[in-house]
Amino acid sequence: MPVPDTMKAWVIGDPDALSLIEKPVPMPGRAEVLIRIDAVAICATDLEVIHYGTPAVIQGGPPFNRNFTPGHEYMGTVAALGPGVDEFEIGERVTVEIHAGCGQCKRCRQGMYTSCLNYGLNYGDVDKGHRANGFTTDGGFAEYAINNINTVISVPDTMSDEEATLVVTAGTSMYGLTELGGLVAGESVVVMGPGPIGLLAVAVAKALGASPVILTGTRDSRLAIGRQLGADHVINVRSSDVVETVKGIVGQRGADYVVECAGSQTAINDAIHMTNRGGKICFAAFPHEPATVDLPHVVKNNIYLYGIRGEGRSATHRAMALMADKRFDASVIHTHTFALEDLPEALRYARERVDDAIKVVVKARGVAQKTQAGQ
């Protein structure tokens, strides 16, 4: 596959300021491949990085005015192989996960590469080997990107480019359920917040055999999509007491597992109070402020709290297996598509939820203007 010398890439200047520039196409090193990016989905964390900077760390600091390209939920075609790479072939369609740990710190040796203790230490004379594309190294709002082979997953011919970008989102949901124990078949699972991660948490939980699966939120349109993805019950928290309604479904002792994807103080405490003794809660949202929580209730009832970051423990690979087997249709959360040149408008749709946008996808080629999914 011919590879040009330069490519189009979006870079962050000041907060919320993006510029489309020409950058050199990077070349893959050992255990790396060059991916020609075909499609990239916008994640809420991309909006965080572009506005707040965190959790990105570039050259030891915030990502502003450092020639940094964000974006992390991308798929594409293998365009070049690094030395010694035979795990993939040029021309192969692939999707990616974000993190390649350093492989040498305590957490990486435990398989917890999304918690790599050398996060962001890859600048200047320091290079510990950690990579998190779109956070500590250049990401996918460009025409090409480099990925470690451990972060690359083959895409079946039956899967569209747009659906393949959603594997990271599904992988994050899978990681949350993995950290809660993984064996959710026959267990009650409540998912709080019908954003992309919450909706695909419903799908993954149902595919793993959880019963019942309950989705809570404030938007009936989102809750309806949750039904499509397998939710046995949906609860609009504006019209009922969510804790009592959940207990009315699963019994007064409460739910076995809760995946909290809203991030508000109210939602966090509701999660605590709807969980049964010895139950487990996964916190998947990024709250902006500290929260006051009912810790005495947690301790008295032996409730386990887990915070997750990213899509660790190869959860993205397992999510792909479910999606490739058509165990659920992740594409129902894809609502809008834009051309790469229209990234600022795509980000506005995602940020302001224009036309009830859920998952907005940007394509590097073949898209002349915004379209809606299914049209």
Query: CB–CB of 198/265 below 8 Å?
Result: no
The pTM for the full model equals: 0.91
User: What backbone torsions phi and psi does residue 270 show, to the nearest 5 degrees?
Assistant: -60, -40
pLDDT, residue 78, reads 98
Which tens digits make up the pLDDT trace of 234-272? 999 999 999 999 999 999 999 999 999 998 999 999 999
Which residue ranges form the domains of the chain, and what is each CATH number? 6-98+133-155+329-372 (3.90.180.10), 169-307 (3.40.50.720)
Whether the CB-CB separation of 267 and 215 falls below 8 Å is answered with no
Whole-angstrom Cα distance, residue 158 to residue 93? 11
Q: Which residues pair with 275 in a beta bridge?
A: 255
Query: What is the per-residue pLDDT for 374?
Result: 38
Q: What pLDDT does residue 311 have?
A: 87
Residue 370 pLDDT: 42
Could you give phi then psi for residue 273, rounded to 5 degrees? -85, -10
Instruction: Supply the DSSP symbol for 62.
Output: -
pLDDT value of residue 369? 46
Q: Which residues contact 283 (CB under 8 A, 6 or more apart)?
A: 260, 263, 268, 271, 305, 306, 307, 308
pLDDT at 366: 66
Q: What does the pLDDT look like over 284-313, one tens digit per residue? A: 988 878 889 999 999 999 999 999 888 888
Q: Alpha-carbon distance 218 to 232, whole Å?
A: 17
CB contact set of 142 (below 8 Å; sequence gap of 6+): 7, 8, 9, 10, 23, 37, 69, 71, 364
What's the pLDDT score for residue 310?
84
Hey, how many other C-beta atoms are within 10 angstroms of the C-beta on 1? 10
Handedness of CA 101, 106, 110, 115 (dihedral sign): negative
The whole-number pLDDT of residue 181 equals 87
Residue numbers of the chain with a pLDDT score lower than 70: 366-375
